[in-house]
Amino acid sequence: MQDIYLGIDVGSVSTNIVALNNEGEVVHSQYIRTNGQPLESVKNGLRELKKNIDQNTNIKGVGTTGSGRQLVGVMVGADVIKNEITAHATATAQVVPDVKTIFEIGGQDSKIIIIENQMVVDFAMNTVCAAGTGSFLDHQAERLGVPIEKFGDMALAAERDVRIAGRCTVFAESDMIAKQQFGFSKGEIIRGLCEALVRNYINNLGRGKKLEPPFVFQGGVAANKGIKSAFEKEIGHEVIIPKYFNIMGALGSAILAKELMEETGSDTNFRGFEAADLDFMPSTFECGGCSNNCEVIKVELDKQVIAMWGDRCGKWTNSL
């Protein structure tokens, strides 16, 4: 008999699942592409998890985070639904206890979190500009015809420096084309791109913040060695990449779930692995009750409405 706590991070690009045991060790983890279908990917993840763990396992608590946290929280029956900034910080503070600065770069957003004595004291999140995120690299990899997995090695192997404008993807792209025509190799251009992304990130998110070591770099983009070395060059200090760098959000929400359940001693709301086979129907409608015209999200299970949110006045949320 084993007790485990689940953390589920539903992001725009990937859905990650982590299972922790009573000692806080990761006993299972998954990194799944969301492909625009958060519910499906979580269901697949749960089925996969069930296959891989002891049949006698007891799920003691579940936490969700990421942009799909609320929807998936309803689906699986989460005990903790937390924003991804807190979830990431929680995980990092446990893995690297003296961390002071967290760089997190995901598929569609990036964050910087400043920590003092294991407390979040400041943070910033970028969601308006694609130039500082993984999508930017994905897009350029496609343009150059280089698989994104090879990006890091090619950047490290480059011999010359080339400066590419990182202010905006559009400028970066025209700059890249120009530099290609000057005769720079693909590797050199990729290195230039990595440096451009880091410059953009530091300018956008680091503005006005005191960046102090230890630095921890996490999120899907941390897999890219080129970006890691660009960070080290930019800030002039070593950057730590934690073992579970690409599932830190899920790890954090599992830790939060574990802490909460241990503190309160209550039973989990987890619907069980059967949740993977239930037919959840999320839909939205515009409430015309007043001039706000709120977009209300409704989740149905077997034609029964189980959750609604998004209304500002509480008319629908309270109706259940």
Partner 1 sequence: MKVSFPYMGTTVVYKKLLELLGHEVIMPPKPSQRTINLGVKYSPEFACFPLKVIMGSYMEAVEKGTEVIVTSGGHGPCRAGFYERVHSRILEEEDYNVEFIVFDSMFRDYKKFLQNVLRIKGDSSWYKVGKSLMLVYDMIKKLDVLEKEVQKTRAYEFKKGETTRAWEKIQNLFDRAYTKKAMEEAFEDGKELLSQIKQVPIAENKKVKIGIVGEIYVVMEASINMKLEEVLGSLGVEVERSQYLTQWINYNALPKFMNHSHETEILSKGERYIPIEIGGHAKQTVGHIVDFSERGFDGVVHLMPFGCLPELVSQSIVPKITADLGIPVLTLSIDEQTGTTNNLTRIEAFLDLIKGKRVRKIS
User: Least distance (Å) from partner 1 to the CB of residue 2?
Assistant: 27
First-to-last C-alpha distance (Å) of the chain: 37
Residue 94 or residue 185: which is nearer to partner 1 going by CB? 94
Pair 137, 197: CB distance under 8 Å: yes
User: Least distance (Å) from partner 1 to the CB of residue 249?
Assistant: 12
User: Least distance (Å) from partner 1 to the CB of residue 124?
Assistant: 9
The interface with partner 1 within residues 271-310 (CB under 8 A) comprises 291-293
How many residues in the chain?
320
The interface with partner 1 within residues 66-105 (CB under 8 A) comprises 67, 82-86, 89-90, 93
Contact segment (CB under 8 A) with partner 1 among 27-35, 112-120, 182-190, 266-274 equals 112-120
User: Least distance (Å) from partner 1 to the CB of residue 103?
Assistant: 16
The interface with partner 1 within residues 212-271 (CB under 8 A) comprises none
Residue 122 or residue 153: which is nearer to partner 1 going by CB? 122
# residues contacting partner 1 (CB under 8 A)? 31
Residue in 35, 127, 203, 266 binding partner 1, rule: CB under 8 A: 127
* 175 forms part of the interface with partner 1 (CB under 8 A): no
* 314 forms part of the interface with partner 1 (CB under 8 A): yes
Residue 228 or residue 258: which is nearer to partner 1 going by CB? 258
Query: From CA 163, how far away is CA 8, in angstroms rounded?
Result: 39
Residue 88 or residue 228: which is nearer to partner 1 going by CB? 88
Query: From CA 146, how far away is CA 308, in angstroms rounded?
Result: 44
Residue in 22, 118, 174, 264 binding partner 1, rule: CB under 8 A: 118
Residue in 55, 56, 117, 181 binding partner 1, rule: CB under 8 A: 117
Residue 193 or residue 256: which is nearer to partner 1 going by CB? 256
Give the dihedral of Cα atoms 291, 297, 299, 305; nearest 10 deg: -10
> Hey, what are 216's tokens?
């921890």
* 170 forms part of the interface with partner 1 (CB under 8 A): no
Residue 26 or residue 125: which is nearer to partner 1 going by CB? 125
Binding residues for partner 1, rule: CB under 8 A, are 67, 82-86, 89-90, 93, 109, 117-123, 125, 127, 207-209, 291-293, 312-315, 317-318
